[in-house]
């Protein structure tokens, strides 16, 4: 579901737009990162958040 929500968000934006997505640790951050890269988008290294989750910066292709 995280990937679908992120993809729908990116579909609304122009190429080059940057978004920050908050994800739970583990599978969500790994799967969204890999899926966004597979879609051709640029993904920065996930950054740990104080709440135990991660933030992921994605630049739309």
**pLDDT tens digits along 29-59:** 999 999 999 999 999 999 999 999 999 999 9
CA 23 to chain centre: 8
- Cα separation, 61 vs 53, in Å, equals 25
Q: Tell me, what's the pLDDT at 16?
A: 98
Q: Tell me, what's the pLDDT at 56?
A: 97
Q: Tell me, what's the pLDDT at 48?
A: 97
Among 17, 25, 27, 31, which residue's Cα sits nearest to residue 55?
Answer: 25
Model-level pTM?
0.92
H helix runs in the chain, sequence order: 2-11, 27-38
Assign residue 34 the CATH number of its domain: 3.30.110
Q: Tell me, what's the pLDDT at 40?
A: 98
CA 58 to chain centre: 5
Number of domains, the chain: 1
Residue-number span of the structural domain to which 26 is assigned: 2-59
């Amino acid at each position: 579901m995280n990937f679908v929500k992120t993809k729908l968000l990116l579909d609304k934006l122009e190429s080059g737009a940057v978004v920050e997505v908050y994800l739970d640790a583990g599978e969500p951050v790994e799967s969204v990162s890999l899926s966004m890269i597979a879609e051709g988008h640029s993904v920065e290294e996930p950054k740990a958040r104080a709440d135990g989750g991660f933030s992921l910066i994605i630049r739309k292709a």
